[in-house]
Amino acid sequence: GHVSISVVAVSVKNSGGSQPDPSRLGFFLLSEESLLQVLTEIQQNPSFCVLDSRYTTHLFTFRELSPPPSASANHTSPVTIPNEYSIFFANCAPETSVSMLVHTELYNLDADSEHSRDYLSAGQTHLPTLFSLFSVAYFAFLALWIYICYSNKLSLHRIHLLMAALLLMKALNLLCAAEDKHYVKVTGTPHGWDVLFYIFQFIRVVLLFTVIVLVGTGWSFLKPFLQEREKKVLMIVIPLQVLANV
């Protein structure tokens, strides 16, 4: 993979009036496995600068900034060891404050094209296709369910309509998940599809547990109403699902 960092409008201020060492300010990558090692180093020596750790992957320091007034830098580094990484900025200069605008990109290059960026991690790059296939499958299930309900209109109950709504929400949820991952893969951002994904997921989960409870109580099959105890179950289950999804 590759990591690209762009910093502009960099401002470094030292309360003591001295000029801080720019090599003590910089960016680095850290894998999840190395995080505990670095934390141990810091605990053993509170004055230890994390930029000197052998467990970090060095990116660049403020030595590489362009001279003022622009004070900016663009840096791209290859990542040769596959892992899940986080980007950190370290300020090891005492009594120094830093402000800047930062834009970061982490991406892999597609095997088919060396110039096509894939912003999903290696384990998630096939998710757009998988979600699309499952969405098509659920739309097919919905069409089949509507046909069955239409063919058996005499034995149709309201619970069957709720089941159709549940299938529709599941299909739309997967469709939005596919679009969400596709745009993240191509551009690095979901372009609002993540909001729709959470909306349909919220409705789907609430509908799912509602249908399960209603089928369990025999509503619409054996009786047209709910008893007081069954209403209390719904009043507990549905708000809990709402809270869990929020």
Contact (Cβ atoms closer than 8 angstroms) between residue 72 and residue 35: no
Q: What global pTM score does this model have?
A: 0.75
Provide, rounded to the nearest whole percent, the portion of the chain with pLDDT above 90.
59
Higher pLDDT, 238 or 7: 7
Report the mean per-residue pLDDT for the chain.
89
Q: Where residue 83 falls among pLDDT bands split at 50, 70, 90?
A: confident
Weakest mean pLDDT among 42-51, 113-122, 194-203: 113-122
CA 23 to centroid of chain Cα atoms: 33
Residue 235: per-residue pLDDT: 84
Residue 100: per-residue pLDDT: 94
